Amino acid sequence: MIIFLMRFHTIIEKNKRMKKIFYFIISVVICFTLTSAIQKSEQNSKTVILQATGMDITPASLIRSADIISARLKVYGLKSFDVNPLADKSQIIIHLPDIIQLSEVEGLLISKGELAFYETLERNDFSELLKTNKAGKPLLAMSDVESVNSSVNEATQTILTGIKFKPSAIAVWAEATRRNLNKHIAIVIDNQVFYSPVVRSVIEGGMCEISGNFTQKDTNYFVALVSNGTLPVTLRVIK
């Protein structure tokens, strides 16, 4: 009986050691898998560092800027990215998929996103006016816009950019379209002409629908840039 108990105890001890070895192996495998996943993730992403400049930098403004950039990238169509503000360095660190070229999204990261509408003769002439800061007062600005969206005309498969103005701006827009019938109106972001559509009819409902030879990325970029607010700080890419 004593020998049986001793053997039984030995078996139990062996089982305990085997369990410990088994759990240790499982832990090693899990750690290795996680490490490999992290390394693979790092290898498949690129880091962009934005430096804030000026006197208006606060932790709150950096956080707000990071939130706007995140919203822009999401609307643009990116599924995997990371945006983190570093208040002590006045920086924002962004991790992007490695397949995304910085030149493709740089404007979404650093452009203020200030939208304005101007009466103009021709796009090239207006671009020159903007360079000399003599373009005058805009017809309407971002504060007059209620919403911006992208859609597709099912009949023609044309990609459309839609801008809806606030009620207070509807009459101004109607009069502007009446005055500029068959002429260009420049849609400007940060003093650069983004669109210069020709007005084809008087628009009295407060809508602006832009069509042309645009890709889905073009319209996504515009919508992402102007529908998430303006950046409260000035940012530049340092890496």
- pLDDT tens-place string over residues 80-115: 999 999 999 999 999 999 999 999 999 999 999 999
Confidence of residue 31 (pLDDT cuts 50, 70, 90): very low
Please tell me whether the overall predicted TM-score, pTM, comes out greater than 0.95 for this model. Answer: no
Arithmetic mean of pLDDT, 126-136: 53
**Statement: residue 14 has pLDDT above 70:** no
Instruction: Give the residue among 127, 229, 133 at the shortest CA–CA distance from 186.
Output: 127
Phi, psi angles (nearest 5°) of residue 119: -75, 140
The whole-number pLDDT of residue 12 equals 46
Helix (H) or strand (E) holding 50: strand 45-53
What is the secondary structure of 88-110 as a DSSP string? Answer: GGTEEEEEEETTS-HHHHHHHHH
**What pLDDT sits at residue 56?**
79
**Strand locations in 54-203, DSSP E?**
82-86, 91-97, 115-119, 140-141, 145-153, 158-165, 185-189, 192-195
pLDDT band at 224 (very low <50, low <70, confident <90, very high): very high
Determine contact, residues 149/207, Cβ cutoff 8 Å.
no
Residue 120's pLDDT is what? 73
Residue linked to tokens 């090239």: 124
pLDDT of 165 above 50: yes
For residues 22 and 206, which has the higher predicted lDDT (pLDDT)? Answer: 206
Q: Out of 5-14, 142-151, 161-170, which region has the weakest mean confidence (pLDDT)?
A: 5-14
The mean predicted confidence, pLDDT, of the chain is: 81
The pLDDT score that the predictor gives to residue 11 is: 47
Confidence at residue 225, expressed as pLDDT on a 0 to 100 scale: 95
Region 40-51: mean pLDDT is: 76
Domains and CATH numbers, the chain: 44-112+230-237 (3.30.70.100), 115-218 (3.30.1360.200)
State residue 45's pLDDT score.
Answer: 81
Strand order in the sheet with 185-189: 140-141, 115-119, 185-189, 192-195
Over range 167-189, report the average pLDDT.
93
Per-residue pLDDT reduced to its tens digit, 71-80: 999 999 998 9
Q: Please give the residue that has the higher pLDDT: either 186 or 239.
A: 186
Please compute the mean of the pLDDT values over residues 185-201 and round it to a whole number.
91
- State how far the Cα of 118 lies from the Cα of 137, in Å rounded to an integer: 8
Tell me, what amino acid is at 174? Answer: A
